[in-house]
Chain A
Amino acid sequence: MLLPRFSYHQPASVAEALEVLGQHGDQAAIIAGGTDLLVNMKHGKLAPRHLVGLEGIDGLEEIGADNGSLVVGPRLTASALAASGELSGAAQALALGAASLGSPQVRNRATVGGNVCTARPAADMCVPLLVLGAKALLAGPDGPRELPLDEFFLGPGQTAKKPGELLTGLSLPRPAEGSGAGYEKLGLRKALEIALVNVAAAIWLEPDGKTIKQAKVALGAVAPVPMLSPGAEAALTGQTAGEEAFAQAAEAAATDAKPISDHRGSAQYRREVVQVLTRRALGQAWQAALGQ
């Protein structure tokens, strides 16, 4: 199908962007890489009359520091994040997820802001962001606000972002020593694949290098939204890192998962795979935390 007609706006500041968005209400849509938006427009699912590009606004395409946190700019592409040197320790989860998205061509366009706002249950950058405790930084007509990501995702394609609001960044705690991340994705083929199940894990070790200070596991494609596994977190906190703890956490993650059956796979299979991938992602995160 043909792309419907629209006019294009290129505001030079967040304030200007909010103004344009406010002017056109639900007739406006923000466009970043366009790899979700344009596909939906071509399929006739959306027909915004006004597209608002953010490339004229400074500072949305970098990783900045803000007392104790990293702020990831929404316009950073998957390619840039996959290669970023600033995402060390647990934050590496985001780089790993970004590296597994789509194909090189798609990664060069696809942005993290777009991935988060599209809010697909299997989104390759959303699942890692959850284990990092990321917060969505939003700017809107009523001023800026922050929302933890697990409250931001409401359903497939649905978020707590209000119409007229703009995602200006994702804030993460600064990478800590003794932390590491793992990411596992199961699909049919090795690229251009939306996960059948994907799992991100992050571990923060105590200075003894053995005890788990904190760990988080997030699951993709097994619920209406990318989800954290509280069971896995509980099973790991304070435990000695290793196969036994990981196996228990994996079991808990499989219990937390709420998969459905569809033409891509059965709920039963997805649940089994959650367990395997969780165990593997945790093993990977542990090795990374140990610096191996």
Chain B
Amino acid sequence: MGGDYTVVGSRARRLDGPEKVTGKAVYLDDMQFKGMLHGAILQSPHAHARIKSIDTSAAEALPGVKAVLTAGNVPDTKYGVSPARYDENILAIDRVRYVGDEVAAVAAVDLETAHQALELIKVEYEPLPFVLDIDQATAEGAPQLHQEYLGNLTAEVHQEFGEVARGFAESDLIRTDTFVNKRQDGGFIEPPRSVAVHDLSGNLTLYSSTQVPHYVQRTIAMLTGLSVGKVRVVKPYVGGGFGPKASASPCDILSSLLSMKTGRPVKIAMSREQVFLHCRARHQFKHVMKTGYTKDGIIKALEHTCYLEGGAYSSFGIATVYYAGSLLAAPYRLPHMKYDGYRVYTNKPACGAQRGHGGVAARACFEQQMDLVAEELGMDPIELRLKNIMETGDVSCNDLSMSSLGMKECLEAVQGGSDWNAKKGKLPPGKGIGMAAGFFVSGAGYPIYRSETFHCTVTIKVQEDGGTVLVKTAAAEIGQGSDTTMAMIAAEAIGIPLEAVRLVSGDTDYGIDLGAYSSRTTLMTGHATREAGEQVKEMILTALAGELGVERERLDIKDGVVEIKGEAVDFGPLRTKYLKEHRGWGGMPSGDKLTFTEAARMAYLKLGTIVGTGKYKPPVLGGKFKGAAVGTSPAYGCSAQVAEVTVDLETGQVTVDNITDAHDCGQAINLTSVEAQMEGSVSMGLGEAMFEEVKFDDQGRVLNPSLGEYHIPTVLDMPRMRCIVVESGEPNGPFGAKEVGEGAIMPTIPAILNAVHDATGVTITELPITPERVLMALKQKKRDE
């Protein structure tokens, strides 16, 4: 469907590519500051305990130690992600709630001294009874984590759309199925870290490995008492985030406070083990879904209950528990839906948002059940889905509006692309094929705090020499490619080649940008960038029209040259002026067309520096009910995947051989980046399906806090992949673009589960799909037969 674009839709080389592959890119650990101190954090060894006393005198006396912080000398302001549930303290006040809870922090001349100082801090704990799972946490008389949120419930959701009872009355086939995933780790390459620099003018600059400079800026301002304008957050290159870096980290907060206290730059870096202790990654979900279908395979009603094991603090949990329900209302027509969700506190590290926020396990449960329904109805799974899918223009029972939806195209693409019809039901034992579909938001309708703020602002300044433009955005390039995408959008909007665009990003001084989460950047920052680019173009062409004495409408810029419609116009005087300014220079414009460079220079001479600004916030979106803000988005991406697997019937080991993946991203800005997101999503989904599980002992300690023992896929575990990009043209997106970053993970787990079922006849309802789990299921099936 793609329009007639020059830059958009191409396979542009990434702006950050050369620096990254040559090792020259600057990440936080590469940054050095004069007089920089090193910070370290003391964490609780207990899952739940009262702090009877803390003695820091020996640590303070250690030569080289410059500051020691405990709850006693930091503000007691509560913070968190959602202002409705600020339940965290900067450092534990009287009580620790999980193994890893932050108790004290030190800054010293080097890391060795800082670690020694931690060992000298004497904390007297009185261990308290604790709860490690949902059953323990919700049992009567269970120890409580927070006095403000009794019953160990962070949040509960009760929603009904339509009339579920009527839906079930109209159903011929009603199935109830359950599904459990496991607590996941983000598995990003770079653990969180920060350097805070509090300068002599009282300004604080925080360099942070974060996805969200804006939210970090606000949290730091709130906790330090500095005004927001005096807090600047800068994000250097970041080694991935996937959700757990979407809020202020203890490194951010404690390095800021330590820098303010010592007057010196302070760096704090998490170790890999601390990443596991901090978590903020995928929750464990337990889903129960009762779904009604007619005998023709039409979905009538869904009654859904979900429990989330959330850890000791809320983090994103309120949004997560809403998403776990709301993201089932599409991409199939579902007239009646009831949802009861519970997000439960436990004495474990807090879970938060991770790629496919809240929706991944729910999607797996629903899509697995759909295949079981297809089997009972004797229907092909793709056929069953095609009967139910929504189309462009459809609105879900909970007011999610599909302004574009290439679901049918995705299903047909993977059907053809995988040779589905020749394989489904025709493979030998141990070989299986399965499929699933899914969808996801392109950014949330509202910021995390209640506000009418723009979600992003972008400035484009035309360099006064006229040859290049400078895009300034606070958007967070965290490896996903947003810098290149924004530069491409700017180039397309102005009509210049990508090489004429420079871009700076990831700095709160460049404007507002809510950051890299909920798959928002391409659509939202893309809109603002496009608007700024169009403004620039308009200013230059208006000035040029005046100079040449032609109507503005006759002028356009394409690929760096000015197009003039109608009869020829003499721009000789203009060129002469330009050449005179550059006497003796090489590479001057020649030929029969006026260049963008000349036009832009002329406009500057007339108007001064040319600056265009763009901004975006979503229009008011559907839904008046409680929780409507979670799930509504200006646009939805969707996808379908077919997985082919081999199951070793003697050991239970599953190998994913092939994945055929189709994703509707509206319009690819950078085709290579779209495919990269699809591949990355499959790798992450495959890890969650097959290997990943953060494990705890009976004292609440993480058993596998390293990437040696917590298994993410290696390149050898990746299947062959075929990526098919579907472009439905999103009316609410810049140049028709919408998300690909998270939606692409939705079908992976259920597609693999359905393929395993096809290969073996067993249904695995608990992740990960370990060889042992599969073999035990195979044996059970034999016994049952």
| B772 A189 Cβ-Cβ under 8 A | no
Chain A contacts of B716 at CB under 8 A?
189-191
Would you call A230 an interface residue if the criterion is a C-beta within 8 Å of the partner chain's C-beta atoms?
A: no
Contact with B along A1-23 (1 / 0, CB 8 A): 11000000000000000000000
Number of A-B contacts (CB under 8 A): 49
Chain A contacts of B768 at CB under 8 A?
188
Cα of A263 to Cα of B710 in the assembled complex, Å: 12
Query: Given A269-B772, A276-B651, A263 and B714 touching (CB < 8 A)?
Result: no
The distance from the CB of A271 to the nearest CB of chain B, in whole angstroms, is: 12
Identify the closest chain B residue to A103 (Cβ): B714
| B111 A2 Cβ-Cβ under 8 A | yes
Cross-interface CB contact of B775 among A2, A192, A193, A269, cutoff 8 Å: A269
Would you call A141 an interface residue if the criterion is a C-beta within 8 Å of the partner chain's C-beta atoms?
A: no
Contact with B along A254-292 (1 / 0, CB 8 A): 000000000101100100110011000000000000000
Chain A contacts of B708 at CB under 8 A?
192, 194
Chain B contacts of A265 at CB under 8 A?
770, 772
| B775 A188 Cβ-Cβ under 8 A | no
| B703 A263 Cβ-Cβ under 8 A | yes
Taking chain A's interface residues, is the majority helix, strand, or loop, or is none over half, making it mixed? Answer: loop
| B112 A2 Cβ-Cβ under 8 A | yes
Cross-interface CB contact of A1 among B271, B711, B717, B775, cutoff 8 Å: B271
| A273 B651 Cβ-Cβ under 8 A | yes
Chain A contacts of B653 at CB under 8 A?
186
Cα of A269 to Cα of B111 in the assembled complex, Å: 45
Would you call B14 an interface residue if the criterion is a C-beta within 8 Å of the partner chain's C-beta atoms?
A: no
* Residues A169-209 near B (CB distance < 8 A): 186, 188-194, 196
Contact with A along B691-707 (1 / 0, CB 8 A): 10001000000011000
Query: Given A1-B271, A191-B716, A266 and B115 touching (CB < 8 A)?
Result: no
Cross-interface CB contact of B711 among A2, A189, A266, A269, cutoff 8 Å: A189
| B691 A189 Cβ-Cβ under 8 A | yes
The distance from the CB of B699 to the nearest CB of chain A, in whole angstroms, is: 14
Best-buried of B690, B703, B771, B776 by chain A (most CB within 10 Å): B771
The distance from the CB of A198 to the nearest CB of chain B, in whole angstroms, is: 12
Chain A contacts of B772 at CB under 8 A?
265-266, 269
Chain B contacts of A272 at CB under 8 A?
775
Query: Given A265-B772, A273-B651, A188 and B690 touching (CB < 8 A)?
Result: yes
Would you call B713 an interface residue if the criterion is a C-beta within 8 Å of the partner chain's C-beta atoms?
A: yes
Best-buried of A188, A189, A263, A272 by chain B (most CB within 10 Å): A188
The distance from the CB of A186 to the nearest CB of chain B, in whole angstroms, is: 6
Cα of A2 to Cα of B271 in the assembled complex, Å: 10
Query: Given A192-B708, A269-B776, A273-B651, A186 and B112 touching (CB < 8 A)?
Result: no
Contact with A along B659-670 (1 / 0, CB 8 A): 000000000000
The distance from the CB of B776 to the nearest CB of chain A, in whole angstroms, is: 7
Identify the closest chain B residue to A265 (Cβ): B772
| B115 A2 Cβ-Cβ under 8 A | yes
Cα of A199 to Cα of B214 in the assembled complex, Å: 54
| A190 B111 Cβ-Cβ under 8 A | no
Chain A contacts of B713 at CB under 8 A?
189
- In the complex, besides A2-B111, A189-B690, 18 extra interface pairs with C-beta distance below 8 angstroms are A1-B115, A1-B271, A188-B770, A188-B771, A189-B691, A189-B717, A190-B714, A192-B714, A263-B704, A265-B770, A265-B772, A266-B772, A269-B771, A269-B775, A273-B771, A276-B650, A276-B651, A277-B651
- Chain A residues engaging chain B, CB cutoff 8 angstroms: 1-2, 103, 186, 188-194, 196, 263, 265-266, 269, 272-273, 276-277
Q: 6 A-B pairs, CB-CB below 8 angstroms?
A: A1-B271, A2-B115, A189-B690, A191-B714, A192-B714, A273-B771
User: When A and B form their complex, which 3 residue pairs have the shortest distance between CB atoms, in order from nearest?
Assistant: A190-B716, A269-B772, A276-B650
